[in-house]
Amino acid sequence: MNLDAGKMLSSAAVGLIDSSALGPLEGYAGASAGGLGMALMILSDQLDSAVATLSSENDALREIFGSAATRVGGELGERLSATGQGQGDDLRVHVLQAENDALRALLIELHAWVEEAGADAADLDDTIWAELSASTERRKVGFAPF
Amino acid sequence: MTLEPTAFASYVSHRVPGALGVSVTDVERIHGGASRQTYRLRLSYDEGGARVDRPLILRKDPPASLIETEREAEFAAYAAFYATPVPVPEALWLENDPKWLGSPFFVMEELQGFEAGPQQITQPPYAEHATRLGEQKWTILGQIAQADPFALGLDQALEAVEPAESWKRELDYWAAKLDRDAGKPQPVMQAVIRRLRRAPPRPPERLGVVHGDYRTGNFLYDEEGSIHAILDWEMAHLGDPLEDLAWSLNKVFHWARDGRAGGLMARDEAISIWERSAGREADPESLLWWELFNCVKGQAIWLAAGKEFMAGNNRDPVLAMPGLIMANSQDRAALDLMGRLR
C-alpha cells in the first residue's frame, strides 16, 4: 500500500481530536491536543489542493499583468510585461508559493497604480477585485466562520 | 513554563503581610486567551483570625504572545469598571517584577460556573437565549461607550489622543504590525488600508474607552442567558467607541454561520441596541470605516499569531489556529464590506 500524506495527516488529526492517539487528556492538555488536531485537519486539506490553488492563482495573476502592461507603461509596465510572460514549470509547493508571493507583491503595486488612474482604469480595477475575490474562494477553509 | 504554587504563595505572603499559612492549590492552566498564560488556582490563608479562601485567575506574560499588550492597561481597565454597570471580575494584584514567577503577571477573582466559548453559545442550552444574550452584549458595550475615561481615571493608564487623530493612531499601529508580521503580501488588506487613508471617519465628539476585543468569546455567560463578566481587556485603549461596535460585528466572529453578529442576532438589531445604550447614533459611513479598519487589525492579529507559532516562540496551538482559519475569512469579510465579494 502506498502511503497518502493527506490521509496520514487526517488520521493523525482525528487521533488528536478524539483522544484515540494519546489517550484521554483533560483540561489544557486535552484542549491543546484538540487544537493541534484541528490544525492538522486543515493542513491535510490544504496539502491536497495546494498545487492546484497556487498554480491557478499564479496563472490568473500573470494574465492580468500581461494585459495591463501596455496600459501602465514605464518601469512598472516593463516589470508587469516581463512577469506576465513568465511561466512557472516547477510544481513544488515552496517554489509555487515563492512565485505567488512575488506576484501578489506586484499586484499590490498595480492596484495602487490603477486607483491613481481613476476612471480610465476602472475596468482593470474590477478585474483585480474579481481576482482577489476568486483568490479567497480558492483558499476557503471548510469550517471557517465566513 | 508552569506556575509553581510555592512561588505564588511566597508572593502572597509578601503582598499580604498579615497572611498566615498561605496555601496555593488546584493550579491548572486554562485556555484564557493567547496573549497571556492563564491559570486557575485556589488561594487560602488566615488573616486576622479569619480564613480567606478564594478561587483566582492569574494571567502571566508568556515568552511570546499574540500581541504585545500592556498588562497595566488590562489591569487598569478591570479596576476601573469594577462595581460599575459593566460587569468585570475584581482585579487584585498587578506585579511587574519578574522575580516572583519568572515574568510579570496580574491576579483577579475567578467567577466560577460560567461559559465563555464562542462555539458553545450557538449550541444548547445557550442557543435558545441568543436574543437575550445579544441584548445584554450590546447594551453593555453601549455602557462602555458612554463611560468617561477621565472620570474613571483610565487616562492614567491608557494614552490619550486627540479625538480627530484617534483613527490615524490606530490605523498606523495596525498597518505597521501587519507589514511587520504578515510574512507574505496582503493585496486585499493593502487595498483596504489605502481606502481608509483616503477617506478618514468622522471624529468622535469625545474620547471614549475602547475595549479592543469585544466579541463573543470574551464574556462569561450562563444557561439562563445572563452575561456575568466582560473579559480580556488587554487591548483596551482610548479612542472612538465605534471601533468596538465595528469589531463586535466582524463577520469572522459569525460563529453560528447564519449571518447573525457574534452568533447572536441580526446586525441592525445589535446596532440599535448599542445606539440606545450608548446614547448616540452609529454614523453608517464612520461605522463602515471602523469595520474595514477592524479587518486590518484582525488580519494583523491572526497572522502575527501564526508567525509566533511557526517561529517556535510559543507552541500554544491557540496561536496556530487564527492564521489557518481566520485569515482568509478576514479577507472575505473585507471584500464583502466593500461590495467586492462574488
Q: What is the percent of chain B where pLDDT is above 70? A: 96
Average pLDDT over residues B58-62: 88
Q: What would you report as the CA-atom Rg of chain B, rounded to the nearest whole angstrom?
A: 20
Tell me the C-alpha to C-alpha distance, in Å, between residue A104 and each of A73, A135, B251, B319: 19, 11, 24, 25
B5-109 belongs to which CATH class? alpha beta
> Between A3 and B20, where is the model more confident?
B20
> Between A16 and B318, where is the model more confident?
A16
Is the predicted pLDDT of residue B68 greater than 80, yes or no? no
| Distance (Å) from the alpha carbon of A127 to chain B's nearest alpha carbon | 11
Q: What is the pLDDT of residue B267?
A: 97
- At B64, is the pLDDT very low, low, confident or very high (cuts 50, 70, 90)? low
**ipTM of the complex in this document:** 0.93
Q: B71-75, B123-127, B209-213, B327-331: which range is least confident on average?
A: B71-75
Chain A residues bordering chain B (beta-carbon distance below 8 Å)? 27-28, 31-32, 35-36, 38-39, 42-43, 101, 104-105, 107-108, 111-112, 115, 129-130, 132-137, 139-141, 143-146
- At B197, is the pLDDT very low, low, confident or very high (cuts 50, 70, 90)? very high
- Helices B284-311 and B242-249 cross at an angle (nearest 10°) of 70
Those residues whose C-beta lies under 8 Å from the C-beta of residue A43, and which sit 6 or more positions away, are A9, B324
Identify the residue among A65, A132, A138, A140 best suited for mutation to test binding to B, counting B beta carbons within 10 A and taking the highest: A132
Task: Work out whether strand B50-60 and strand B37-47 pair parallel, antiparallel, or are unpaired.
Answer: antiparallel
Q: What is the pLDDT of residue B33?
A: 64
Is the predicted pLDDT of residue B65 greater than 70, yes or no? no
> Between B4 and B320, where is the model more confident?
B4
Q: What is the pLDDT of residue B241?
A: 98
Q: What would you report as the CA-atom Rg of chain A, rounded to the nearest whole angstrom?
A: 21
Bridge partners (DSSP) of residue B219 are: B230
B99 touches chain A (CB under 8 A): no
Q: What is the pLDDT of residue A30?
A: 87
Residues of chain B with Cβ-Cβ distance to A135 below 8 Å are 331
Q: What is the pLDDT of residue A144?
A: 86
Nearest to A115 among B194, B318, B325 (CB): B194
Nearest to B317 among A36, A134, A135 (CB): A36
Are B102 and B91 in contact by the 8 Å Cβ rule? The answer is no
Ordered by start, the domain boundaries in chain B are 5-109, 120-337
- At B314, is the pLDDT very low, low, confident or very high (cuts 50, 70, 90)? confident
- At B58, is the pLDDT very low, low, confident or very high (cuts 50, 70, 90)? very high
Q: What is the pLDDT of residue B134?
A: 98
* B21 φ/ψ sector (left φ>0, alpha ψ -120 to 50, else beta): left
- At B1, is the pLDDT very low, low, confident or very high (cuts 50, 70, 90)? low
Question: Cα angle at B220 between A36 and B145, to 5 degrees?
Answer: 115
Is the predicted pLDDT of residue B276 greater than 80, yes or no? yes
Average pLDDT over residues B81-98: 96
Q: What is the percent of chain B where pLDDT is above 90? A: 86
Q: What is the pLDDT of residue B2?
A: 83
Whole-number Å distance between alpha carbons of B161 and B164: 8
Count CB atoms within 10 A of the CB of residue A97: 14
Are B291 and B249 in contact by the 8 Å Cβ rule? The answer is yes
Is A145 within 8 Å of B318 when comparing Cβ atoms? Answer: no
Are B156 and B76 in contact by the 8 Å Cβ rule? The answer is yes
Q: What is the mean pLDDT of each run of 10 residues along chain A (146 residues)?
A: 79 86 84 88 89 96 96 96 87 95 98 97 98 96 84
Between chain A and chain B, how many beta carbons pairs sit less than 8 Å apart? 100
Is the predicted pLDDT of residue B110 greater than 90, yes or no? yes
Average pLDDT over residues B158-174: 97
Whole-number Å distance between alpha carbons of B332 and B326: 10
- At B321, is the pLDDT very low, low, confident or very high (cuts 50, 70, 90)? confident
- At B312, is the pLDDT very low, low, confident or very high (cuts 50, 70, 90)? confident
Average pLDDT over residues B11-38: 90
In eight-state DSSP terms, residue B149 is: T
- The chain B residue lying nearest A44, using CA atoms, is B324
Name the residue among B337, B292, B333 with its Cα closest to residue B201.
B292
Name the residue among B189, B216, B195, B233 with its Cα closest to residue B327.
B189
Whole-number Å distance between alpha carbons of B309 and A97: 19
Average pLDDT over residues B267-289: 98
- The chain B residue lying nearest A114, using CA atoms, is B191
Is B335 within 8 Å of A133 when comparing Cβ atoms? Answer: yes
- At B328, is the pLDDT very low, low, confident or very high (cuts 50, 70, 90)? very high
Residues of chain A with Cβ-Cβ distance to B185 below 8 Å are 101, 104-105, 107-108
Name the residue among A98, A103, A110 with its Cα closest to residue A135.
A103
Residues of chain B with Cβ-Cβ distance to A145 below 8 Å are 251-255, 257, 325-326, 329
Q: B34-48, B67-81, B157-171, B249-263: which range is least confident on average?
A: B67-81
Residues of chain A with Cβ-Cβ distance to B340 below 8 Å are 129, 132-133
Is B342 within 8 Å of A134 when comparing Cβ atoms? Answer: yes
Residues of chain A with Cβ-Cβ distance to B329 below 8 Å are 141, 144-146
Those residues whose C-beta lies under 8 Å from the C-beta of residue A20, and which sit 6 or more positions away, are A14
Is the predicted pLDDT of residue B66 greater than 60, yes or no? no
- At B272, is the pLDDT very low, low, confident or very high (cuts 50, 70, 90)? very high
> Between B26 and A24, where is the model more confident?
B26
Superfamily of domain B120-337: Aminoglycoside phosphotransferase (APH), C-terminal lobe (3.90.1200.10)
Is the predicted pLDDT of residue B339 greater than 90, yes or no? yes
Q: Which of residues 294-333 of B touch A (CB under 8 A)?
A: 316-318, 320-321, 324-326, 328-329, 331-333
Nearest to A108 among B187, B317, B342 (CB): B187
Tell me the C-alpha to C-alpha distance, in Å, between residue A45 and each of A20, A50, A145, B305: 21, 9, 17, 21
Is A146 within 8 Å of B335 when comparing Cβ atoms? Answer: no
